[in-house]
Amino acid sequence: MMKTFIQKVLTDADYQPARLLTILRALQAEYQHIPIDAIDILADALNIPRTQIIAVVEFYSFLHLTPQGRYDILISDSITDRMQGKENLLGYLSSALKVKAGQVRDDGLVSLNNTSCTGMCDQGPAGLVNGHALTKLDRPRIDEIAALVEQQKPLGEWPPHLFAVDDNIYKAGLLLNGPIENGAAIQATYTRGINNTLEELDRAGLRGRGGAGFKTAMKWRFCAEEPSEQHFVVCNADEGEPGTFKDRVLLNSHAEQVFEGMTIAAAIIGANQGFLYLRGEYLHIFDKLQAILQQRRNAGLLGANILGQGLDFDIEIRLGAGAYICGEESALIESMEGKPGIPRNRPPYPVTSGYLNQPTVVNNVETFLAVAKIAIEGGDWFASFGTEKSAGSKILSICGDCSRPGIYEYPFGVSIEQILADCGASNVLGIQVGGPSGTFISNQEFNRQLAFEDLATGGSFIIFNNSRNILEIVQNFTHFFAHESCGFCTPCRVGTALLKKQLDKIIEGHGSAGDVVELESLCQLVKSNSHCGLGQTAANPILSTLQRYPDVYEKQLKSISYEPGFDLDGSLEIARRMAHRDDAAAHLSQVED
Amino acid sequence: MANKIKVATTSLAGCFGCHMSFLDLDERLIALAEVAEFDRSPITDIEHCGPCDIGLIEGGVCNSENVHVLREFRKNCKILVAVGACAINGGLPAMRNHISLEDCLLEAYRDGIGVENAQIPNDPELPLLLDKVHPIHEVVKVDYYLPGCPPSADVFWAFLTALLEGREPSYPYELVHYD
């Protein structure tokens, strides 16, 4: 039985070890876990070590070695979900289904757990059931879901409104306003000439939209100049930064243009194969995207000899399986090769040695979207928007405390004040710009600009009003990084856990002055010694709030010089009980008398 | 010399290996004795700590007595030092942290092979075990850390001479790499 199923999955995957994640996702969906027998079969069939398969299963949140429920429900634990009442709803769901978060119910019907931000911040609280997005959760919906689970109704028969995902585009700018005609950008590229198109991208001053802001034309030129038989184009749609959801909207409504941008990249760097690495949380748009790819093949915009220009290029979608770190481009490539998403040493950079060690261009969804438009309109057109160092526009995912959370596109250089006014935010305490790895700005900084030279962002913009508690926000972000650390390097693996512990100690009221000093030095240690961007930015929530709100931390502190961060007397409880003692010497005070 | 600095030492949940390593200072102990004198320490058999300049703590915190001793040191020592892996991380004794204290006690005093007259010790004279072994910095504030299992005599020497000369202690790479 299982053997037949695995053979089918393997055949679909063409026995490619690089497609291990795809194969394992199929097994997880079928058996609610990866059976140990399956691991042996896969190891033989793919000729890879079984330890690699186990490492992959253990690495990704959506893969399991032990069976999950036939309905596996995950609730998004982003700060915005919490602000929309997630904690309360999780408790409600937990009692409705009689299963605790983190557990599988005894009858194996349902399991419940938390998961990192699912990218539905503008329509939360959100969740996933067997990988499919649930939005706008409230008590009536929870009742509905619980009933459907108990009736064991197949997911395909659940009412569609539970899975409805809205685009919520509130402000369209130069990219969202004028979608291109299919094929027009490829046609323009060939009419102008490949080299001239690269020149146009250079003139446009386009910088990577994922957040880091590397010049796109420069990246593509480096890759094109790399002598190699194969080059690859990868679109990074592993949009995991909490508070970011614009790539979901772009792929839902502008995927054609994104694929067109990828095709232009292929023409420029000489690639025959492209990949869209889609985060597992966006499974709900997978079929739609596959259909669009097929339409493009039918229209001669993908496949052999595209538009009769001699370009052979196709795009394959690879789904992730729940790992924030895979948004880092070298971790993403590792993941695409069927391995745990552990960032590589750089250099060599992907442009010289990326997927299968071949020159590879990895860019954000929005970058490819912009490329297609620039190919038609030209570099000068694009550069006429934005600021000198940040040309063009930025598409923002705005969420949190505002009346119109959703997608907003602005020319770079827009002031924070303007954005707040547009999305209907008032009484603002502060904003997390660029997600947890970015910066927390206070309400004294609203004259600042959104641009690479001031506040850079990959798109995340979370607004907090004065009713919010800064320490709760920082705690949520700090726990997030500790959970998402890939575990490869010690400063990050151990450091993020220590940050979490030290911050919790202060928030729980066991902190003294020395503990804040200790926290700050830990932050510096993790920041300056970690292997990749995750560890290097994991301390940002603490550092940027410590700098702006020292008083908030100080208020938590006791005037005594030191207090343990755990309950000393409570930790004697087991020994007391077993020795049947309760005399004075069998107790400890929390601080020295 | 009239104003000798005062040093106290103790071992909590440790093996006295750090103390043995300290004695490896050998003839440098004589030079040390010129400028320092010992308060509470296994070397002096003084039972309680008076006001001191430096307190050296070996071992982690595994029971209530460790907590009391550690607090006495913190109260009396201007500078408190975590000496060796157990004081810094919990070390070997902390390997029991993966097993519940209940299981540890039952295995040792009731279910283990060769246990006679099985009972959990309950004499009030005996300190109770904490459910987990902790590094000392989780119980009191610690000023310095001497790494090693044990720290070599040279590490002790580098640390003490630096403090005596008023320098911030630092250790050359040779002293703190262990492979």
β-strand pairing of A311-319 with A273-278? parallel
**A571 CA to chain B: closest CA distance, Å?**
5
Stretch B78-91: mean pLDDT = 97
Q: Does B100 lie at the interface with A, CB-CB under 8 angstroms?
A: yes
Domain membership of residue A582 (yes or no) is no
The tokens describing A158, both together, are 């659940």
SS3 sequence of A370-413: HHHHHHHHCHHHHHCCECCCCECEEEEEEEECCCCCEEEEEECC
How far the first Cα of chain B sits from its last, in Å, is: 41
Asked whether the predicted pLDDT for residue B1 surpasses 60, the reply is no
Asked whether the predicted pLDDT for residue A525 surpasses 70, the reply is yes
Same domain, yes or no: A404 and A377: no
Question: End of a domain among A466, A499, A516?
Answer: A466
Q: Does B15 lie at the interface with A, CB-CB under 8 angstroms?
A: no
pLDDT (tens digit per residue) in B88-116? 999 999 999 999 999 999 999 999 999 99
Question: End of a domain among A133, A165, A197?
Answer: A165
Domain membership of residue A487 (yes or no) is yes
The tokens describing B59, both together, are 């071992």
Domain at B73, CATH number: 3.40.50.700
Q: Which residues of A touch B71 (CB under 8 A)?
A: 592
Domain at A447, CATH number: 3.10.20.600
**Type of residue numbered A17:** P
Same domain, yes or no: A261 and A154: no
Q: Which residues of B touch A586 (CB under 8 A)?
A: 64, 124, 128
Mutate to test the interface with A, among B119, B128, B129, B137 (most CBs of A within 10 A): B128
B40 neighbors B8 (Cβ within 8 angstroms): yes
Domain membership of residue B112 (yes or no) is no
Q: What's the CA gap between A537 and A235, in Å, rounded?
A: 23
Vertex A252 angle, CA A251 and A258, to 5°: 30
CB contact under 8 A, A585 and B138: no
**CB neighbour list of residue A258: distance below 8 Å, 6 or more residues apart:** A235, A250, A251, A276, A365, A368, A369, A372
Q: Does A578 lie at the interface with B, CB-CB under 8 angstroms?
A: yes
Domain membership of residue B155 (yes or no) is yes
What does the longest C-alpha to C-alpha distance in chain A come to?
90
Same domain, yes or no: A186 and A314: yes
Domain membership of residue B83 (yes or no) is yes
Neighbours of A321 (CB within 10 A): 23
Same domain, yes or no: A236 and A351: yes
If we measure between CA atoms, which residue out of A192, A224, A175 comes closest to residue A309? A192
Domain membership of residue B175 (yes or no) is no
**A570 CA to chain B: closest CA distance, Å?**
9
Asked whether the predicted pLDDT for residue B159 surpasses 70, the reply is yes
Q: How far is CA A364 from CA A164, A197, A248, A344, A371, in A?
A: 25, 19, 12, 19, 11
Same domain, yes or no: A408 and A512: no
Q: What region, left, alpha or beta, does residue A194 occupy, with left being phi > 0 and alpha being psi -120 to 50 degrees?
A: alpha
CB contact under 8 A, A581 and B124: yes
pLDDT computed for residue A1 by the predictor = 83
CB contact under 8 A, B131 and A585: no
pLDDT (tens digit per residue) in A39-61? 999 999 999 999 999 999 999 99
pLDDT computed for residue B2 by the predictor = 60
Asked whether the predicted pLDDT for residue A68 surpasses 80, the reply is yes
SS3 A45: helix
Q: What is the DSSP letter of A586?
A: G
Domain at A510, CATH number: 1.20.1440.230
Chain B from 43 to 62: CB within 8 A of any A CB = none
pLDDT (tens digit per residue) in A308-331? 999 999 999 999 999 999 999 999
Domain that residue B158 falls in: 5-92+131-169
- Which band of pLDDT confidence, cut at 50, 70 and 90, is reported for residue A393? very high
**What chain B residue is nearest to A593 in terms of C-alpha separation?**
B71
- Which band of pLDDT confidence, cut at 50, 70 and 90, is reported for residue A349? very high
Stretch A436-450: mean pLDDT = 95
Neighbours of A366 (CB within 10 A): 26
Q: Which of B105, B134, B141 sits opposite A562 (nearest CB)?
A: B141
Q: Which of A514, A565, A579 sits opposite B138 (nearest CB)?
A: A565
**CB neighbour list of residue A580: distance below 8 Å, 6 or more residues apart:** B122
Q: What is the torsional sign of CA A530, A535, A540, A541?
A: negative
Q: What is the DSSP string of A68-99?
A: --SEEEEEE--HHHHHTTHHHHHHHHHHHHT-
pLDDT computed for residue A377 by the predictor = 96
> How many domains does one find in chain A?
5
Domain membership of residue B145 (yes or no) is yes
pLDDT computed for residue A562 by the predictor = 85
Domain membership of residue A98 (yes or no) is yes
Asked whether the predicted pLDDT for residue B177 surpasses 90, the reply is no
CB contact under 8 A, B64 and A578: no
Burial string for A108-134 (b: 16+ CB within 10 Å, else e) reads: eebbbbbbbbbbbbbbbbbbbbbbebb
What does the longest C-alpha to C-alpha distance in chain B come to?
58
**What chain A residue is nearest to B73 in terms of C-alpha separation?**
A592
Domain membership of residue A576 (yes or no) is no
CB contact under 8 A, B131 and A572: yes
Q: Which residues of A touch B75 (CB under 8 A)?
A: 592
pLDDT computed for residue B5 by the predictor = 93
Q: What's the CA gap between B105 and A44, in Å, rounded?
A: 46
Stretch A509-537: mean pLDDT = 94
> How many domains does one find in chain B?
1
**B68 CA to chain A: closest CA distance, Å?**
9
Q: Which of A571, A580, A583 sits opposite B131 (nearest CB)?
A: A571
pLDDT (tens digit per residue) in A79-102? 999 999 999 999 999 999 999 999
Q: Which of A561, A564, A579 sits opposite B120 (nearest CB)?
A: A579
Asked whether the predicted pLDDT for residue B179 surpasses 80, the reply is no
- Which band of pLDDT confidence, cut at 50, 70 and 90, is reported for residue A184? very high
Domain that residue A522 falls in: 471-556
Neighbours of B38 (CB within 10 A): 17
Which residues on adjacent β-strands are paired with residue A314? A273
A407 neighbors A168 (Cβ within 8 angstroms): yes
A500 neighbors A476 (Cβ within 8 angstroms): no
Stretch A470-487: mean pLDDT = 96
Residue with tokens 């050359």: B172
CB contact under 8 A, A564 and B122: no
Domain membership of residue B17 (yes or no) is yes
Domain at A128, CATH number: 3.40.30.10
pLDDT (tens digit per residue) in A247-289? 999 999 999 999 999 999 999 999 999 999 999 999 999 999 9
Asked whether the predicted pLDDT for residue A559 surpasses 80, the reply is no
Same domain, yes or no: A159 and A303: no
Asked whether the predicted pLDDT for residue B48 surpasses 90, the reply is yes
Same domain, yes or no: A190 and A302: yes
Stretch A555-575: mean pLDDT = 89
Q: Does B128 lie at the interface with A, CB-CB under 8 angstroms?
A: yes
pLDDT (tens digit per residue) in A141-166? 999 999 999 999 999 999 999 999 99
Q: Which residues of B touch A574 (CB under 8 A)?
A: 100-102, 131
Asked whether the predicted pLDDT for residue A207 surpasses 70, the reply is yes
Q: Does B131 lie at the interface with A, CB-CB under 8 angstroms?
A: yes
Q: Specify the range with the lowest mean pLDDT, choosing from A62-76, A262-276, B41-55.
A: B41-55
SS3 A179: coil
Asked whether the predicted pLDDT for residue A471 surpasses 70, the reply is yes
Q: Which residues of B touch A562 (CB under 8 A)?
A: 74, 140-141
Question: End of a domain among A325, A358, A383?
Answer: A383
CB contact under 8 A, A588 and B67: yes
Same domain, yes or no: A317 and A192: yes
Domain membership of residue A44 (yes or no) is yes
Q: What region, left, alpha or beta, does residue A358 occupy, with left being phi > 0 and alpha being psi -120 to 50 degrees?
A: beta
If we measure between CA atoms, which residue out of A149, A90, A85, A140 comes closest to residue A115? A90
If we measure between CA atoms, which residue out of A234, A202, A231 comes closest to residue A215? A202
CA A430 to chain centre: 22
Domain membership of residue B163 (yes or no) is yes
Q: Which residues of A touch B140 (CB under 8 A)?
A: 562
β-strand pairing of B5-11 with A127-129? unpaired
CB contact under 8 A, A586 and B64: yes
Same domain, yes or no: A346 and A258: yes
Q: Which of B64, B121, B138 sits opposite A572 (nearest CB)?
A: B64
Q: Does B119 lie at the interface with A, CB-CB under 8 angstroms?
A: no
Domain membership of residue B121 (yes or no) is no
Q: What is the torsional sign of CA A137, A140, A143, A144?
A: negative
